[in-house]
A and B are shown apart, each in its own frame.
Chain A
Amino acid sequence: MTDFLNYLILGLTRGSMYALIALGYTLVYGVLQLINFAHSEVFMSGAFGSYLVVSGVVGSHHNLPWYATVGVLLIGLGSGAAVGAFVAWALERVAYRPLRERGAPKLAFLISAIGASFFLSQLAGKLFNRLSQNQFPTYFNANGAALHIGGASVSWIQLIVIVSALVLMIGLDRLVNGTKLGSSIRGVAEDAPTAALMGIDIDKTISRTFIIGGALGGAAGFLFGTAFVFSNTMGFIPGVKAFAAAVLGGIGNIRGAMIGGLLLGVVENLVPTAPWNGGQAWIGIQWTDVVAFVVLILVLVLRPTGILGEKLGRAA
């Protein structure tokens, strides 16, 4: 049981990050019906941006008192979100809007995004470095146990990741379902031409959707960098996984992305390790990605539009 909880917590941590990134994919998909392949680089730039800001503001002190740690987290999340939002906004302006104005075929958007993705990730590598591991200074004892649940311990960083992700996701849900901006996003997602006739500014709504998705991705970048390491190529794998998570939940569906992300994280950690199997590994961690993709394919074969179906903002 303890083992099971341990893996579950690991899975939830990973899944929270997938979910945060997946939201970016799903939001953009909702309004444009396009896979924003460059979203992984939004995530990456969030990590770099927050590092620059945090290390600039706080410096490389170690083991700060708790109130300063909270400050660092807020600054990091905020700056990551800001940088992510800016990059996503710029991305929409440069890589999407001109194509939209030309009525380009759908695949052209995908390729444009792939081009932008190469460009951004390598530009970051050129400007900063191409090391596979950059680390945030150890501002606090991230791996110290924060609380214990039934014999399993949750470390501070896990707690922070899960809680921040939850807060951000709840915030997003409120934003989309409870504000004017949210209703215009939903309007565009449902039926853009009609929304335009109702006086919703399509361009602006799309821009803002990118900004919101980018902010979440950037914040996830900060969390990822704090929990693990960051580099100019860090976006690719989490990006693919988050995309898978978004599709798993039903792309274009916000709650679907959250559920898909968490589910994928948990499945990845539980299935290969099989903690219910009495400590006897079932297939081994090298099969993690295979498990993830097989689950994805099975779900899609059984439910071709994902777990929750694909309407933005629709609960189920």
Chain B
Amino acid sequence: MRTRNLVSVAVLGLAATTALGACSNSNDSGGLSGGSSSGGGGGATYTVAFEGPLSGDNAQLGINEVNAAQLAVDQANQKGDLGFTLKLLKADDVGDPSKAPAAAAQILQDNTVMGVIGPSFSGTTKAVGKTFGDAGLAIVNPSASNGTLQTLGFKTWHRVNPNDFAEGPAAADWLAKKAKKVFVVDDLSDYGSGVAAAVIKELKAKGVTVQHQGVDAKTTDYGAISQTVKNSGADAVFYAGYDAQGALFTKALTAVGYKGIRMAGNGVKSSVFTEGAGAAGNGFYFSCGCQDATVAPSAKDFTAAYQKMFNTPPSTYSPEAYDATNILINAIKAAKAAGSVTRATVNEQVNKTDYEGITGHIKFGTDGDLAKGSGTVNLYEQKDGKIVSLGDITKAS
């Protein structure tokens, strides 16, 4: 009996606290705007939505992206020349394809949403690409890199990051110049296995001997794989995965005294890697279809603004998300200029994008992927704890 009473008291206490919390709810001013929210009158509100992992194991990636999107939206609103109010809707899909449909429904049911940044992963994109396509809502992927997405017939799908088949082969070509035997390690994720497949295919085409193994992304002990890489006598190792794991891997490689070339793709090139790997990361190469966000002038402003707003430097895929958001904002502006803002007109404008972003020049092909040749793949190297650009990978020595 006593414990039951205790429960009721505890519940009462909880209720009281929530009530207290709610009393201090924000009362932002401004009444309810009457009238229809669609139709594009002056002072209308349009929303861009972000769909990605905001909780769960992959939350960091989603936060990197949603922060950039928030920054772009805030900047657009601050400029004051929009003629409408822009809002950002955050839909959390936990990076899980089975949860993506609910997140998509949350986005779709808000009829002020004119475009979507995301979903962050190829898997989640595959799960909802058709849904968004059927609803005519433009989606711009900032980080889903699977090389087959453009072939799946999603009607409103776009992507601002180069896919595995652009980045992987470029890296492989460069490696083929340097090494006779390459060990490819992937992280057994959708992304990693895609990149690995692209790299291996190209390496084999160039006549390089390839060995391939995988290490689960949740593993922290890279001892065995590093020992195996060393024992294999490979001249180079390519890691297909993400930054945090890449850092652990390179540390383990250093620990076993591996001396060959170490390289990875875009997923690893971030401050998480440089901080995590420390000195062990020096001499690590990256292939990335992106501009150097710390060097390009437009990117420098972004980096500073991001740092100021979130008290942390932009990280993996933040620049891509920033570009994706700006593309959507520009499309809404263009649609408004052309007369009507609907999901369909915004999607048309997105299709027409010709945008100089901080990650490079962005133009979409008819399949929604980056137009061929619009992105150059650059080579980077970590030197003294900083990632520096070595320029176009096809020309790099």
- Using CB atoms and an 8 Å cutoff, list the residues of chain A in contact with chain B: 3, 6-7, 10, 13-14, 98, 130-133, 135, 138, 143, 155, 224, 227-229, 233-234, 236-237, 268-269, 272-273, 275, 279, 281, 284-286, 288-289
Would A229 and B248 count as touching, CB distance under 8 A? Answer: yes
CB pair A138–B224 under 8 Å, yes or no, is: no
Q: List, in ascending order, chain A residues with CB within 8 A of B188's CB.
A: 286
A133 touching B244 by the CB < 8 A rule? yes
User: Once the chains bind, are B220 and A229 in contact (CB under 8 Å)?
Assistant: yes
Interface size counted on chain B using CB atoms at 8 A: 33
**8 Å CB contacts to A: which residues of B230-249?**
231-233, 244, 247-248
Taking a contact as CB atoms under 8 Å apart, the answer to whether B215 and A286 are in contact is yes
Q: Which of B59, B211, B247 contacts A281 (CB 8 A)?
A: B211
| Contact A229:B276 (CB < 8 A) given known A130-B60, A143-B254 | yes
Q: B243: shortest Cβ distance to chain A, in Å?
A: 9
Name A273's contact: one of B211, B227, B254 (CB within 8 Å): B227
Look across to chain A and name the residue whose beta carbon is closest to the beta carbon of B59.
A130
B148 CB to nearest chain A CB (Å): 22
Which of the residues A3, A14, A98 comes within 8 Å of B223, measured between beta carbons?
A14
Residues of chain B contacted by A286 (CB below 8 angstroms) = 188, 213-216
Q: Cα distance A269–B232 when bound, in Å?
A: 16
Q: A131-B60, A228-B221 are in contact. List 13 more A-B contacts (CB 8 A).
A: A3-B231, A6-B227, A7-B224, A10-B224, A143-B254, A228-B248, A229-B248, A281-B232, A284-B213, A285-B213, A286-B188, A286-B214, A288-B224
Counting CB contacts under 8 A, is B81 at the interface? Answer: no
Q: Once the chains bind, are A273 and B276 in contact (CB under 8 Å)? A: no
B101 at the interface (CB under 8 A from A): no
When chains A and B are docked, how far (Å) is the Cα of A72 from the Cα of B251? 22
> Which A residues touch B276, using CB under 8 A?
133, 135, 229
Q: Are B224 and A285 in contact (CB under 8 A)?
A: yes
Complex contacts, A229 vs chain B, CB 8 Å = 220, 248, 276
Given A135-B276, A284-B213, also A228-B220 (CB < 8 A): yes
What are some 18 contacts across the A-B interface (CB < 8 A)?
A7-B224, A13-B223, A130-B60, A131-B60, A131-B272, A133-B248, A135-B276, A143-B254, A229-B220, A229-B276, A234-B220, A237-B218, A269-B224, A273-B227, A281-B228, A281-B232, A285-B215, A285-B224
Shortest CB-to-CB span from A76 to chain B, Å, is 17
Known contacts A132-B244, A286-B213, A7 near B227 by CB under 8 Å: yes
Q: Does A269 lie within 8 Å of B255, measured CB to CB?
A: no
User: Would you call B299 an interface residue if the criterion is a C-beta within 8 Å of the partner chain's C-beta atoms?
Assistant: no
Q: Does B28 contact A (CB under 8 A)?
A: no
A279 to B254, CA, bound (A): 20
Chain B residues whose CB sits within 8 angstroms of the CB of A131 once the complex forms: 60, 244, 272
**Closest partner residue, chain A, to B186 (CB atom):** A286
Closest chain A CB from B170 CB (angstroms): 25
**Known contacts A130-B60, A143-B254: does B228 contact A285 (CB below 8 Å)?**
yes
| A224: nearest chain-B partner, CB-CB | B220
Residues of A with C-beta under 8 A to B216: 286, 288-289
> Which residue of the partner chain B has the closest CB to A283?
B213
- Inter-chain contact A155/B221, CB cutoff 8 Å: no
Contact between A269 and B223, CB atoms less than 8 A apart: yes
CB proximity to A under 8 Å, residues B176-235: 188, 211-216, 218-221, 223-225, 227-228, 231-233
Top 3 closest pairs, chain A to chain B, by CB? A286-B214, A143-B255, A228-B220
Known: A135-B276, A233-B57. A3 touches B255 (CB 8 A): no
Q: How far is the CB of B280 from chain A (nearest CB, A)?
A: 9
Give the complex CA separation of A98 and B7 in angstroms. Answer: 13
Contact A133 B272 (CB under 8 A): yes
Residues 100 to 142 of chain B near chain A (Cβ within 8 Å): none
Report the bound CA distance from A29 to B297 in whole Å.
61
Whether the pair A279, B232 counts as a contact (CB closer than 8 A) is yes
CA distance A233 to B276 in the complex (A): 17
A175 to chain B, nearest CB (A): 29
Q: Shortest beta-carbon distance, A246 to chain B, in Å?
A: 19
Q: Which residues on the B side are within 8 Å of A234 (C-beta)?
A: 220
B239-267 vs A, CB cutoff 8 Å, 1 = contact: the mask equals 00000100110010011100000000000
Chain B proximity of A266: nearest CB distance (Å): 11
Bound form: Cα–Cα A288–B57 in Å: 21
Flag whether B278 is at the interface (Cβ < 8 A).
yes
